[in-house]
Amino acid sequence: MSGQQDCALQLQGSIAWPGVCHWGAGALARTVIAAGARLKAPLVVTDASTWRAVRSTVEAAFAAVPGLQWHVYDGVVPNPAVDQVREALRKGRALDCASIVAVGGGSAIDVAKAAYACLAGGLEADELLSPKGQAWLDSASVPDGPLFIAVPTTSGTGSESSSAALVQADDGRKRLYRSNRMRPSLIALQPDLTLSLPLRPTAQGGFDATLHALGAWINTDPSPVGKAMALHALKLCLRALPAVLRSPDSLQARADMQMGAYMAGLAIGMSKVDAVHAMCTPLESRVHGAHAEVLGPIFSVVSRYTAQTAPAPYAAAARMLGIANSGDDGLDALTLIDAVESLARLADIPLRFSDLALSEQDATLLASQAMQSASMPIHPRTLAPEEIKSLYLQMAA
């Protein structure tokens, strides 16, 4: 038996499939019907502008359930903090809400995930990172738990299908909560609900989804389903985002982008991402901009550095997607990286920071924080803390 076969036999894992997803026209109404009696006294977690745009559609879907009473928390803000989790939880408990329905982008869904964990686990928001909270996050799902529905109105983070939520703590640092128990049980992908999103956040969300897909593809996690999801998501995003930017009212382009983001979320839930996102989270506490605007410069520096010694996964994607096929891993890898950078330019996402200032001490701290990410050890090029520090300093140069 060859060494390669021995290695393959040693690989093992598990697949935790997320909730049932209804997609296409009328997806929300079909999702509400599928929820049946489990949909009890829902709290809608959303932001004010999204709620104004989609309220009539959501209320029409709820109205089909006789006697259903629902309430709305619309205080979510971009890059949400734990205060919004506290507020949503406080309102949900005061009104005896027994279900959570997240309506909006990644911020709304992440707040809803954390609030759901507290509601289902009998926790306070400050307990999520405590041993008690971690025990709930790590435990198995129960079939009779409260219902959690996600209705994404953006195509970006894929939070509707991933197991993670990113929420800013009181100290300003973003905290990652990860649990299969926080995944929505039902998901509605209805492309017309994304039409009200302005073009700039549409572009930024699409770029984030693209890097989710690419990160899940290039890393060393062996999940075959995660890899298949990542590659198809990457194909969809690279095609759909330019189409959406050219024709924002195209429901087909919106539907493709929505599915690409959803599948990228599935991929990162199974396979995680890479050093790009691992390095992004610490830096976002210092750079006040959209998530994609932090990702762009990090991707440009980290991917090119990685491809110097580990070009194979980039090259493989380029070939399977028909982007390049020179037979040279280095050249084909750079062709894919060039394509992603071109997509960033098309989306008006900078590939360099204009005003980032980092000291050696700053970069050392950021590197130590990035090393704590579960995605860093599976990056295709092993990065030591000194290398990560150097990459951060290059971004600030």
Domains, in order of start, for the chain = 20-194 (3.40.50.1970), 199-396 (1.20.1090.10)
**pLDDT for residue 7:** 42
Which pLDDT tens digit goes with each residue over 308-345?
999 999 999 999 999 999 999 999 999 999 999 999 99
| pTM summary value | 0.92
DSSP H helices in 182-324: 199-218, 224-246, 251-271, 275-283, 291-309, 312-320
What is the pLDDT tens value at each position of the chain, 397 positions in all?
333 334 454 567 777 777 899 999 999 999 999 999 999 999 999 999 999 999 999 999 999 999 999 999 999 999 899 999 999 999 999 999 999 999 999 999 999 999 999 999 999 999 998 999 999 999 988 877 899 999 999 999 999 998 889 999 998 888 889 898 999 999 999 999 999 999 999 999 999 999 999 999 999 999 999 999 999 999 999 999 999 999 999 999 999 999 999 999 999 989 999 999 999 999 998 888 889 999 999 999 999 999 999 999 999 999 999 999 999 999 999 999 999 999 999 999 999 999 899 999 999 999 999 999 999 999 999 999 999 999 999 999 7
Query: H-helix or E-strand containing 167?
Result: strand 164-168
Which pLDDT tens digit goes with each residue over 156-208?
999 999 888 999 999 888 888 989 899 999 999 999 999 999 999 999 999 99
SS (H, E, C) 1-51: CCHHHHHHHHCCCCCCCCCEEEECCCHHHHHHHHHHHHCCCEEEECEHHHH
Q: Give me the helix-helix angle, 27-35 and 48-63, nearest 10°.
A: 60
